[in-house]
Amino acid sequence: MSNPSATSVETASWTRRILALVVDWAACTLAVSLFTPVYGATADPASGFYVLGLFVVESALFTALLGGSFGKVVTRLRVVRANGDPRPPALLLALARQLLVALAVPPLVFRPDGRGLHDIAAGTCTVTVETFRRLAGR
């Protein structure tokens, strides 16, 4: 019997994932800046926490609903279950995953298959849209 925690799903490159993170962060920074200054002398000292909080909420909701955060959708990535099931993770798992991403350490510690600690904890992996379509039989 195979190890249920092992994945045979080809994960997306770290370059694409980092690009998705940059897109997410820029979008969240822009959204927060509509309500409070984020940079400069008049910036709210807590604005960084607002951006981080919005990032966690946005990415968890979009991941649970669309299979990826705004940045992942734009960069053609999806978060799927590590067992090859193309469905996105449930909302609580997506939220736990994104809270771990917000800690920054889990994505930096990863296995040879490309899954970071945040993915391992949530039972997920990040794949390209092409891999997602193959998994979904489309």
Can you give the pLDDT at residue 107?
67
Provide the mean pLDDT of the chain: 90
What tokens does 23 get? 């897109």
pLDDT tens digits, residue range 74-102?
A: 999 999 999 999 999 999 999 999 999 99
Can you give the pLDDT at residue 65?
97
Confidence of residue 106 (pLDDT cuts 50, 70, 90): low
Distances (CA, A) of 97 to 107, 134, 135: 10, 24, 21
Q: Assess whether pLDDT exceeds 50 at residue 54.
A: yes
Orientation of helix 91-102 relative to helix 47-66, angle to 10°: 140
